[in-house]
Amino acid sequence: MNSLPWMVGGYIVMLGLLVIYIITLLVRARRLKAAIRARKKQL
Amino acid sequence: MEQSEIHPGQRTQRILDIAAALAVLGALAVVIFYAPLEATMGAVQKIFYFHLSAAWAGMLSFMIAAIAGGIYLARRQTRWDQLSLSAVEVGLVLMLMAIVGGSIWARQAWNTWWTWDPRLTTVTIMELVYLAYFLLRQGVDDPERRARFGAVYAVVGFLSVPLMYLSIHLYRTIHPLLLGSSASDGMQLAPRMTQTLLISLAAFSVLLAALLYRRVRLARLADTLDALRQQMD
Amino acid sequence: MNRRPRFWRAALTVAWKDLLTEWRSREAFSAMLVFALLVIFIFNFALELKPAARAEISAGILWVTLCFAGALGLNRAWVSEKDRGCLDGLLLAPVDRAALYFGKLFSGWLILMLIAAVLLPIYGLLYNQNLILPGLLLFIALGVEGYLAVGTLLAAMAVQARSRDLLLPVLLFPVTLPALIAAVKASSTLLSGLPWVDVQPWLMLLLAFDLIFTVVAWLAFDIVMEE
């Protein structure tokens, strides 16, 4: 169908946003855990 | 135990993650292969399934944020504020997915990037309300006050939804859309469409649970770090 | 139960104090009024006010002006309290915190109504359109009440945060949108000379908003003013 690329594009964008968010969650978690470990070593 | 402090609830998280991934991919497969093609709009109409599911999950998340906020105000336990905060952030992401998906769909189907459809407009204003939530929290230094104010605003913001939708809907019935038509106004759902929609909604519910769980754990980590920082100063 | 008369008397005292302070300096009132007039002038150049479109646009311009002026007033009202340390004094007083809420709400409402009272005839002169209709006055009263009911609560929060001037409108405008829509549509319907039955649903909506949010804000005010 003519509108197939639009559907694909739409899904890529929607799921892309989701994936980006999940990645930020993972990255933030890793940074926090590292910071916590560092502080605990200091204590 | 030090181990559990840094990695709490990992098993549950893993289960939720796998369930959510399977659910969303499964729903996507159903959308692509099972859902029928709509007569007038063609393939692009299929955006509707995830667009609506994301909006629904987002609204649900905001509702959870309001309820958790209310419970926090009643009990003043940090875990409820963590849940409220997490639900707002996750809700914002899900709503953004819905808004952007809807916009792309509208562009192809009705040649306009935006329709002033009451549902879409309400959802976008909610997005603004909850973005303001984060601005409010950012501006408050005292953590207890931050949680308290956040909770009040989460509740007040959510309470405005019914009247918001009503007023915009009433406005639109008097001013019918000039450009394009409302997204689901003329759309009739064949049985296979309804089934696909239900499957998508279910998938997004699982996704919501997984995201919330992960975000709440993140909030706990942040609070642990803050507590450690205070201990040292 | 002796608490009732004390409560309302306290609320009126707070309102009276605010109004008296304002009367003596007229700082906020003048700033709000000048600002409102400037906004109206800007709109004249920003929008094409063809006579046919006037009824629709006038309502919009009026309400945008009132909202901006209202936000300005709210900011000043709370910021001056906080900076001068009056807020702590008020909180120490042996009075229900909610009385403070109603006092502030009432004084704010009165001041904004005064601004509207000055604006309407001026607008009428500038654009040759009579805005002084009883129905319109009713909606201004109700709309301002709803707007300030939420505004007073949010201003109390914003003033305790950083970047408070910017924060209040950002918090306030989206949440009060239903009231704004209802007020604008009702106003423009009235100005177009349409029958009352067309105005009724907006009246219901606005009344519902006022009722719900005044109660909610009143309950939440205590929580916001803790410590």
Q: What DSSP string runs through B146-174? A: HHHHHHHHHHHHHHHHHHHHHHHHHHHHH
Dist. CA B58–CA C157, nearest whole Å = 26
Cα(C142)–Cα(C203) distance, rounded to whole angstroms? Answer: 9
Determine the residue among C163, C171, C204, C218 to mutate to test chain B binding: the one whose Cβ has the most chain B Cβ atoms within 10 Å: C171
**pTM recorded for the entire structure:** 0.89
Cβ neighbours around B166 below 10 Å, total: 20
Show residues of chain A in contact with B41, CB under 8 Å: 3
Task: Determine, for residues B171 and C178 on separate chains, whether the beta-carbon distance falls below 8 Å.
Answer: no
Share the mean pLDDT of chain C: 86
* Closest in B6, B44, B232 to A7, CB measured: B44
Q: Which residues of chain B neighbour C199 with C-beta distances below 8 Å?
A: none
Mean pLDDT of C122-151: 89
- What pLDDT score was predicted for residue B175? 61
Q: Which chain A residues contact residue B54 at CB under 8 A?
A: 14
**Phi, psi (degrees; rounded to nearest 5) at B202:** -60, -45
Q: Which of C153, C171, C205 is opposite residue B166, by nearest beta carbon?
A: C205
Q: Report the range of poorest mean pLDDT among B41-45, B203-207, C182-186.
A: B41-45
Indicate the pLDDT class of residue B219, thresholds 50, 70 and 90.
very high
* Percent of chain C residues topping a pLDDT of 70: 93
pLDDT at A41 over 50: yes
Check residue B185 and give its pLDDT.
52
A3–B43 C-beta distance less than 8 A: yes
Q: How far is the C-alpha of C65 from the C-alpha of C160, rounded, in Å?
A: 26
